[in-house]
Amino acid sequence: MKKLIQFLVNNVFYIIFLILSIISFALIVNFNNFQRSVYLTSANRVVGEMNALASFTTEYFALRDKNESLSLANANLLNDVYSLRKELEKYHEQTIFSTSPDATYQFFPAKVINNSTDKLRNYLTLNKGAKDGVCIDMGVVSDQGVVGIICAVSEHFSVAISMLNPKIKISSKFKRSDYVGLVVWDGVDYQYVKMEDILEHVPFAVGDTVVTTGFSSVFPENMPIGVIERFEKRTDNTYYDIDVRLFTDFKKLLYVRIINYHYKEERTNLEESVR
């Protein structure tokens, strides 16, 4: 208390000056129309800007919930698409050469909580695990395209081998012509992969889209991978050296979807029984 009184005594002139200034300002604003107009206009502008800032801040912190909701909605839409596709196939005439009319895929969302793009072998950690139904060898995709394959699972988390990892090769094809090859990362640029096993007689061009074949039990057919950006014929053989620019931007990857192929075990067991 003594310190407070001492402070007031030492600064009494400043305090009186401040009080008189406030009183003078109030008198000027109240008894002068022009000054009052300027004051009200400035005050309204400041309040408006503060309200706008508060609204922006609130919307910013709500983005995470909105993104998670959008990711779940996209997964549900994909589930609906594949369910409708299955139903439509029932109404089409089936031939002996029809391709897996009963193939059913389920998509469920996950969030990327760890990701690398600057190593030779890159991986992603997801916030979904065994309790969510995640199993090894499930495919992972983003809104743009293929991301990777689940390689390890715990109760609450899972790890996927990224496409930016030369340990995996994904069966792919040209969407325009259906010619098949393999896509693999060469460890150079996170935006590009190589498409292998394309012979010199195969027709394709810069700008052609590369998609999955559906030959494996990991990815459905026609999941987007990337677009051909450049190519050249190798001098030592009859194959092309093809650079495919990935649709997925791995440096901005935040939300993905895990693919559950319901008939994977049956298909895998059958295929292995004849090897």
CATH assignment at residue 221: 2.40.10.340
Report pLDDT for 96. 30
pLDDT (tens digit, 9 = 90+) per residue, 131-181? Answer: 999 999 999 999 999 999 999 999 999 999 999 999 999 999 999 999 999
Euclidean distance between CA atoms 259 and 105, whole angstroms: 7
Residue 169 lies in a domain: yes
Residue 150 within a domain:
yes
Is 170 inside any structural domain?
yes
- 255 lies in some domain: yes
Number of domains present in the structure of the chain: 1
Q: 208 is in which domain, residue-wise? A: 103-275
Q: Given this model, what pLDDT does residue 210 score? A: 97
Check whether 183 has a pLDDT greater than 60. yes
Buried b (16+ CB within 10 A) or exposed e, 171-202: bbbbeeeebebbbbbeeeebbbbbbbebeeee
Instruction: List Cα–Cα distances, 66 to 70, 72, 248, in angstroms.
Output: 6, 10, 21
Is 20 inside a domain boundary? no
Q: Is the pTM of this model over 0.75?
A: no
Confidence of residue 207 (pLDDT cuts 50, 70, 90): very high
Residue 50 has pLDDT above 70, yes or no: no
* Per-residue confidence (pLDDT) for residue 105, from 0 to 100: 86
DSSP 56-103: HHHHHHHHHHHHHHHHHHHHHHHHHHHHHHHHHHHTSPP-TT---TT-
Residue 258: inside a domain: yes
Q: Check pLDDT > 80 for residue 29.
A: no
Cα–Cα distance for residue pair 162/42, rounded to 1 Å: 55
Across the range 204-217, mean pLDDT stands at 94
In a domain, 33, yes or no: no
Does residue 84 form part of some domain? no
